[in-house]
Amino acid sequence: MDFDWTMALGSFLVAIIVGLTGMGGGALMTPMLVTFFGVSPMAAVSSDLVAAAVMKPVGSAVHYRQGTINMRLVGWLCAGSVPAAFSGVLLARALGHGGRVEDVISVAMGVALMIAAGGLVLRAYLSHRRRSGTPENEGKAPEIRVRPVPTVLVGLVGGLVVGITSVGSGSLIIVALLALYPALKANQLVGTDLLQAVPLVFAAAIGHLLFGDFRMEVTAALLVGSIPGVYLGSKVSSRAPSTLIRRFLVLVLVASSLKMFGMEPAPLGWTLLGLLTAAAAGWLVLRLRRARGRDTLPSRAESPVGAGSPGGQGTSGPTMAA
């Protein structure tokens, strides 16, 4: 069996993103195998899912110890995703290689991921304008009212997509969780998504072991890189502030979306660099505006005092005259 160390390095970098954000495993790992290493799409899907079945528990265990997982959400998601994932493998087998089906799903996911990224940016901007996020609120767990029916449906759709394409255990489901539970903290979002993906990916991996195109040499390289990578990313994610993780989520959402649209690696890299530069410039402008606003507040507060001083002198004049 030939072992590819460059593939292991690539999986290490992708796994760090998975541990940080709970997403990107299928959306980034599978395209990496096909684009950079020439692995056939069906073999990439099968091998990636088997590797993810080992990688996901490592990241979710870190979040479980840190208490950043909503177990009720995990249960309802798995109720829909586990049977749907195995069914998705059978459906992909019945459709052949499913190239046309995968193209439609990829475009739809690209649109959904881009909308989610825009929603996160808008949410961050509004919170910056309203200054609602405070250090005291940052450490408190929000009250989450679980909605069973839509949560099971999210798991059902996500599991079906994962079984067919290996994409969606993080990318698709995390977008739906953002829409259903906007009050969920970023690190809880990542931890919940990682844990619910464990039985989901296991079901899909078993299906691909039985009916797919599993390649042991590809899976071995992925595991060597992904296990330490997802552990490192999860350690950082479970302790990092929500605002920091949200920025990583936006970056991964945009990258995954552009990859779903079929953008080549070089243009993708330059596009992400341009977006990062524009985001940094925009954030700097907002910070400067806030600083100027703070500087103008004292002068406005002092103006009544200054106005009162002459008034006081004016009133003292007649008194002295008297």
Q: Where are the domains of the chain?
A: 5-262
User: 208 near 46, Cβ under 8 Å?
Assistant: yes
Enter the tokens of residue 143: 């009250």
CB 86 within 8 A of CB 78: no
N- to C-terminal Cα separation, the chain:
108
What was the pLDDT predicted at 125?
A: 67
Residue keyed to tokens 């459906």: 91
Q: What is the DSSP string of 152-209?
A: HHHHHHHHHHHHHHS--TTHHHHHHHHHH-TTS-HHHHHHHHHHHHHHHHHHHHHHHH
Q: Is 69 in a helix, a strand, or coil?
A: coil
- Average pLDDT taken over every residue of the chain: 75
pLDDT at 106: 65
Mean pLDDT within 257-283: 80
Distances in Å between the Cα of 65 and the Cα atoms of 70, 108, 176, 239 are 12, 35, 25, 11
CA-wise closest residue to 164 among 108, 122, 223:
108
What's the predicted TM-score (pTM) here?
0.66
In the block, residue with structure tokens 């004016």? 314
Nearest to 28 by CA among 289, 305, 225, 259: 259
Q: Is 274 exposed, middle or buried (0-12, 13-18, 19+ CB in 10 A)?
A: exposed
Token pair belonging to 307: 């106005």
Rounded Cα distance between 204 and 177, Å, is 21
Mean pLDDT check: name the lowest of 227-236, 243-252, 270-279: 243-252
Q: Which residue has the higher pLDDT, 112 or 319?
A: 112
CA 235 remoteness from chain centre: 15
* Whether pLDDT at 107 is above 80: no
pLDDT at residue 318 tops 60: no
Reported as a pLDDT band with limits 50, 70 and 90, residue 97 is low
Distances (CA, A) of 28 to 16, 142, 309: 12, 31, 67
Closest CA to 58 of 166, 195, 187: 195
